[in-house]
Amino acid sequence: MPPTNPDRRRALTDAAIALLASSGVHGLTHRTAERAAGLPTGTASNYFRNREALLVAAAERVVELHLADMDAAAGRLTGEPDLVELLTDSLLGAATVLRDRYLAIFELRLEAVRRPELNRALEGLQAVATVFTAGHHAQLGLAIPPERVPGLIALYGGALFTLVTAPAGTVTREGVERIVRAMVPAPPPVAGGGGRAG
């Protein structure tokens, strides 16, 4: 029967994320994850049958953390939500405070090109994130048709890559907001307001 200590499993996956960010995919092994998590030799192989299983678990942990962050951000909202502000906050946090997490996911996505099992796992996680995001937008009352969500996620992912891989300390809120405003079309003008007199 596989071990069921969730704290140890979480410690290993969090260590894996940190290692992916600092050393790349080749720096992550069962042994390095154990050392980084402060756990005895052999612990990781009890939870993850091979290195690919450890990589998949790290990806699942990144998605779990991201979805929890989205929920927490929604819980802090007051008044009518603004998509530009929401995306700016999300991208800024990802590129600064959570930079390691997203460096890790980019390492995983590149590795998945050569690993079909990891690729399938990441595709499944992407599908979950798409459904979750569409539901989140509906819950917040954002006027985004569900069919536009995959495109918005793709644009978000491109912006995320650009910002996360920029030199540390160079990302500013103003720069992020400019990117977001290019991603999100401006709302149509209110009829009868602001038009030029003929």
Residue corresponding to tokens 């003008």: 189
User: Domain spans of the chain?
Assistant: 56-183
Q: What is the pLDDT of residue 183?
A: 85
Which stretch of 32-36, 50-54, 136-140, 189-193 has the lowest confidence by average pLDDT? Answer: 189-193
The answer, yes or no, to whether residue 169 has pLDDT greater than 70, is yes
Q: What is the DSSP letter of 41?
A: T
Q: CA torsion, points 73, 70, 72, 47, in degrees to nearest 10?
A: -150
Burial of 111 (0-12, 13-18, 19+ CB in 10 A): buried
Confidence of residue 121 (pLDDT cuts 50, 70, 90): confident
Confidence of residue 191 (pLDDT cuts 50, 70, 90): low
Residue corresponding to tokens 């160079």: 170
**List of residues 6+ apart from 160 with CB closer than 8 A:** 91, 94, 95, 102
Q: What is the pLDDT of residue 68?
A: 82
Q: Where are the beta strands (DSSP E) in the chain?
A: none
Confidence of residue 57 (pLDDT cuts 50, 70, 90): very high
The answer, yes or no, to whether residue 1 has pLDDT greater than 50, is no
Q: How far apart are CA 93 and CA 164, in angstroms?
A: 10
The answer, yes or no, to whether residue 23 has pLDDT greater than 50, is yes
Average pLDDT over residues 154-169: 91
Q: How far apart are CA 12 and CA 30, in angstroms?
A: 9
* Structural domain 56-183, CATH architecture: Orthogonal Bundle (1.10)
CB 153, CB 133: distance < 8 Å: yes
Residue corresponding to tokens 């530009």: 84
Question: What single string gives the DSSP state of each residue in 83-101?
Answer: HHHHHHHHHHHHHTTTHHH
Q: How far apart are CA 53 and CA 58, in angstroms?
A: 9
